[in-house]
Amino acid sequence: MNKITVMIIDEEVFFRVGVRQVLLQQSDFEVVDCDPAQDALEIIDAKLPNIVLLGSNLANHSGLELGRKIARYYPNTKVVMLSPDPDDEELFEVIKTAAVACLNRNTATQELVSTIRRAYRGEYPINELITTPKVARRVLKQFEDISSMGKPMEAIIAPLTRREIQILNYVTEGNTNKQIARDLGISEQTIKSHVSAILRKLNANDRAHAVALAIRNGWIPVEGKS
């Protein structure tokens, strides 16, 4: 049986020890500990863990910056960010690191273990948080602020039509195909066709993945729905 190699990076020694003990109770887990004082990237390069549990020190953004570097240099290592009390603003910052999940440091063992296994299978549990209307609106507002300062946004993988961009905005706000069809006055089947085209152009696995890609890369238009 292939084991899931999990690396723990956190400033608190007792927290790392506690998480390590919990994870070692799982027969399919192998745990690598890492003190933040060590060169985490060197250890990752040597061990190539499947999952990194990364403490998010939002006071100085050191955890977030390390998360970005891991995602950039070791794309096969998935980052699960651990925050003391993640709110919408913190979630937005975590999204930008390309972490696959964000959990409260005090999350239950069952949820932590489940999240690790899901991330190992290639899932993005963080998408479930992104698609809630409250978080989506907050993220869109952040990108509006970025645009107003004149910072350029990245080009999308394949050009979306104006209608596709409009529908992607609706999807981002948590609307169903039926709700979108009603608001735009077109058939639900037409909406399904547009959503399929969006997924294909963005190379997304599903609606949540499309939203995640749009938010992380700034592909959501700042003017909102037209």
Delimit the domains of the chain by residue range: 4-125, 133-217
CB atoms closer than 10 angstroms to residue 17:
12
- Phi first, then psi: give them for residue 103, nearest 5 degrees: -125, 155
What value does the mean pLDDT take over residues 75-85? Answer: 87
Reduced to 3 states (helix: H, G, I; strand: E, B; else coil), residue 80 is strand
pLDDT digits (tens, 9 = 90+) for 42-56: 888 888 899 999 986
pLDDT digits (tens, 9 = 90+) for 103-149: 988 899 999 999 999 999 988 888 777 655 565 665 555 555 544 44
DSSP type of residue 106: T
Provide, rounded to the nearest whole percent, the portion of the chain with pLDDT above 70: 76
Q: For domain 133-217, which architecture applies?
A: Orthogonal Bundle (1.10)
Return the pLDDT at 152: 43
Percent of the chain that is helix, strand, coil (3-state, to 5): 50, 10, 35
Topology (CATH level 3) of domain 4-125? Rossmann fold (3.40.50)
Higher pLDDT, 221 or 210: 210
Is 213's pLDDT higher than 70?
A: yes
Whole-prediction pTM? 0.62
